[in-house]
Each structure stands twice: as structure tokens, then as C-alpha cells.
Structure 1
């Protein structure tokens, strides 16, 4: 008997989810399939248009990313439009954004993106401290105000190092409580919430009005986390095969009204794992 290809397995799994083989009830995940462009960092320089074709073939209709080397932002927008993919969020470098929001606003307008996300706050020696958190709060409030005036929402993407204990919570709590809700929102990275020992579902419910976006990722079983904000990329696994309670996360995310979800798979096996992830989230039922 011939072995099934990964695509064959994916189609069977997808058919099973659609026909109710895996579970009864309403599907939990009803949002468009989104993808973080960083997932395909090993593919873009081999051909942007070919990579976009692959992404489209996966059923992706939303992306988070931004300009790519080798193609103007205007041309990339045309290529996305051609494939029915919307760039709803773009990334921004913390330092550049804190100095000026002009370039970020320009790029967001070109792509039609309504969100800008910052994924890393620079900090010395791997130690995230109160002084750094205070500066980030001030920078986010300032940049967030300017972005809002341009019709764009600033979101901060947690990366694990912010969960240093502080008072009755963590420095992440400090950032949430001291940023202006009118100007600053948040994007939860599920892996970088669980890796330092936090419960993603509980954290979503703790700040129900502040979360707007989400990175869907799972952490390999048995991996012990820390506050470094770093782990080998091979610890990124297909959703449903790792140690994170993904159904609980998606139910909480739906409850707090997450607007857009982006699959981000940093592993070398992303082409194999993305179809598994998509089939899995579509198969989760109430």
C-alpha cells in the first residue's frame, strides 16, 4: 500500500473535520486563516511570487508581515491583491518606531494594514527590568497616539522575557496597566506566553479588552521554558501536537474578541506542519 503524501493526509484530515468525523458541535475557529510572513523566511529569497502561490494554496487569506527584500511595497501589495490575500498587520522595529512613525505609517497605508506590531523591546544583557519597561510604556504611548491619528492600531507582541516578577504580578502586567488603551493594544504569541510559564487562556481573560491579534504556535512537549525569550526553532511544533492547550486558548480568544489570527511556525519543518495546524484548528469543536 502506498504511503500518503503530506498533502494527502491534510486533505483527508480536512474532509474529516468538515464531515464531523473528529467531533460534534460548532467549530471553535471560524476566522480566516492568517499567516505570519516570518514563517516563510527561508523561502522568500527563492522567489516571492512562487512563495505567495504556495501560501495561497494553503488557504491563507490574511497575512502579517511588511515589505520584503527584492520587491517594492507597492508591487508586493499588487501581488497580494492578485491572490486575494490581505496584509492586515505589519511589523515595526522598536527603535525606528520610537524615533519616527512616518515610515511605518507610509508602509501600513500602502498595504492597507490596520495594525502595526512590535515584537521585541531591546534590553541589555538579556535582563528585562523596570527601567526598560517604563521606557517602552512611554515610547508605545507616544507612537500609538500618532498611529491612531493615522487610523492604525499599535500592538505589542509579547516575547516571554516580560514576565519577570514585579509587585503582585509581572512586568508584562506593568506594561498593560500603564499603556493607554486608546493608543496601545496587544498581540498574544501563544508560545511566548506559555514558554515562561504563563497560562495563555487565563492571560487573555485577565485583560479582555486589550488583545487584538494572536500568533498561533505550539511548544514541543517536554521543553522547559524560561525568561530568555529564545528557544531552538525545532521546539515549534504543529498545533495540537505540543504541550499547549490550544482549544482552551482559542475559546478564550473568541470570548475576548481577537480580531485576527496568524499561524507562525519557526521550525525548519514549516511546510509539513502548517497543513497539520490548519486541519487541527478547523477540527476543534465547541
Structure 2
């Protein structure tokens, strides 16, 4: 039975949005004012909802509506998807979101990510993803680069993509690069499996890691780093990926995001 709620955001409604984690420090001070600033940047699409910053969920949604912002994807955790996935359905339907996205698979960070953990995650994604799909929501997993340890003839991420049938993936191009991979090549290897992108560039000369960690201050204006933003976005557009979320975790986010938007506008027909 479909849970009644707000109308889902049409798939083709928008292309460019913002992951709200980018402005977490600003939202700690004033959610409404931060949403107003996002609106001034010309964005109407956001991703988040994992933190309400002391507000009721109704007031939080009212701030979104007041500032003409739509929540295309709600944040979820591995644990709630595993233990109470229907709660994720209710949250996504409340915000009118088409996607629910989780960003981390719990594991011992002092050891390499292993096959058993990846296998358990695939099982969870297929089970929770099926439930979400039955209610009009697409589950996405957002890899962080620790999935690039070798497995058989590829990596653990290859195993996950090839064995997950009820959920999709969100590519954060920064974390693909940080983990030592070419994000454009990965898109080309798995057309149709990445349903949205996080656009984030990396300071040239930054060392790669395989543990899902990195320096937030290595986030730079799109087009100034070593990720190859223009190339990867062009490939994503070629594949028909419609959702691109800006993310900037640096202390310079309020200055850098408008510059990143300006860069995207210079690309030939790439981003609205």
C-alpha cells in the first residue's frame, strides 16, 4: 500500500542541487537564513534531511517550502535501513523525495573493508531497496573509496554493483578520485548504475587514501582541482543522469559554491 504524502519530485524537474551537509555549520546557527542563501544561488533542489538542527520536522519542511527548495533525496543511515526501513519510506514520502541515500557502511576503520561486510551490505540493500521501491523511492548507496580493495578480478565495489539489484549508487567524484579511481571510467564501466552525482573537486597534489578519509580543506572550486569535473559531468549527462548535487565540505563553502556554479554554467549544455 502506498503511503500518502507530498507529491514526489518529478524526475526531470531539476538538475543541479546542493548536499546540505555543505552548509552544516551555517544551519547550526540559522536554518531559515541558510535556505534563503541557497535560494539566492539560484538552486531549488537540495539533498539531506538527516539533521533538523533542533527544529520539528514540520518546521524544517516549512523552511524549505518558504525558500522554494525541494528535497530530492533524504539522507538515511545503514542502521535504519537495516533495522527499520519503513521509517525511511515515511521520511522520504514526507519530504516528497524520490531518493533515499546512505553514505557509510559500518566497519572497523583500522582494518581494510572486507568481503563479508560488503556481502552483508548487499543483502541489506536488496532487502531495503525492494521495500523502498514498492513505495516509489529509489535507494542509493554513496561509496567513499574504502570499497576499492581488490576482490577477485576487480574490487569490492565491483562486487557490490554487480550483486545489488534493488538499489542504485550515487557517485561522489571526489571520493572516487581520493580512492585512486577514475570517476569517468567508472561511469563508463557501469552505465545506468549511478543515478546521481556529488560534484566536488580536489586540490591538485592531494594524496589518495583507501579508508574513506580526506582533508575537508582539499575541497576546491569546481574546475580548479584534479578530478576532471567537465569530463565526468559530460559523461554523466551522456548517460542521462539528471541529478547533480554540489558538495563542499571546506571552511570556504560560502565563497566557493557560487564560483562552482559559475564554472558549471560555462560548460556546454551540461547543467541548468
Q: TM-score, normalised by structure 1?
A: 0.86
1:153/1:133 CA distance change after superposition, 3 Å:
same
The yes-or-no answer on 1:167 pairing with 2:167 is: no
The yes-or-no answer on 1:64 pairing with 2:47 is: yes
Any residues of structure 2 matched to 1:1-286 within 5 Å, and which?
32-66=15-49, 67-124=51-108, 125-180=110-165, 183-285=166-268
Task: Find the aligned partners of 2:239 and 2:197 in 1 and give their Cα distance.
Answer: 12
1:9 matched to which residue of 2?
Answer: none
User: In the comparison of the two structures, how many residue pairs are matched?
Assistant: 255
For the residue of structure 2 that corresponds to 1:214, the secondary structure is: strand
Q: More relative contact order in 1 or in 2 (CA 8 Å, sep 6+)? A: 1
C-alpha RMSD of matched pairs (Å): 1.3
2:3 matched to which residue of 1?
Answer: none
Task: Find the aligned partners of 2:54 and 2:97 in 1 and give their Cα distance.
Answer: 20
Displacement of 1:252 in angstroms is: 0.7
Post-superposition CA distance 1:200-227 (Å, at most 9, x none): 1111111111111110000110001020
Displacement of 1:106 in angstroms is: 1.2
Task: Indicate if the aligned counterparts of 1:220 and 1:241 stay in contact, CA closer than 8 A.
Answer: yes
Which runs of 5 or more structure 1 residues have no equivalent in the other structure?
1-29
For the residue of structure 1 that corresponds to 2:129, the secondary structure is: helix
Task: Find the aligned partners of 1:114 and 1:282 in 2 and give their Cα distance.
Answer: 25
Post-superposition CA distance 1:28-84 (Å, at most 9, x none): xx9533000000011112111111111111111100001512222222222212222
Displacement of 1:184 in angstroms is: 0.6
Which runs of 5 or more structure 2 residues have no equivalent in the other structure?
1-12
